[in-house]
Amino acid sequence: MAGFQVDRMECKITLKNQLKALRFLIFGSLIYCIVIYAFYNNVGYNSSLAIFFSIYYVALLLPTLFLHAEYYLINKNKTLNINPIEKTISFNYRESVNFKEIEKIILILTPVMYRNDGLRFFPFDNYHYSVIKMKDGKRFVFTSLMAFRLEEALKEICGVPIEKKSRFIPSPFLLRSWYYLWN
């Protein structure tokens, strides 16, 4: 439907968004179980092979679970309302802020999402977040658990520059820790 504009968009953590973010991990876990089962039934138990697959699996599992927990804790019980008609946003149903009061939006993506590549390599490739920087210095972190495709939601905020950055593991905590470590 060309020219259709949403009058208001409400973004908050939903089960649907969480399952979308975790789908690659869930699929990978099923594949892992099938591979281990197939090797055990066809080749017999091989401890070195089981250890290799287990280390590989855990190396992919931990960053994904870390990001999921971090994003959940950051946006738990929070809501972002975007009203493109009135050109306002509100955080947690508080007073609305005009788009003109937003300095910029920084969108942190995995390299795969940054390139807009459809092929995912890691279970955490679907995780991304943005920082909405206000002119008064306040910031709001908006994660992909609130809106699975952040970039599409952020396009509703017209006239505000969106700066994209690529990070292998898009973690606000790791980024802050890295910054304090080197500065």
pLDDT digit string, tens, across residues 40-88 = 777 766 677 778 878 888 888 899 999 999 999 999 999 999 999 999 9
Question: In this structure, how many other beta carbons lie within 10 angstroms of the beta carbon of residue 25?
Answer: 18
Residues 162, 104: contact at Cβ < 8 Å?
A: yes
d(CA 57, CA 62): 9
Q: What is the pLDDT of residues 1-22, one digit of tens each?
A: 444 455 678 999 999 999 999 9
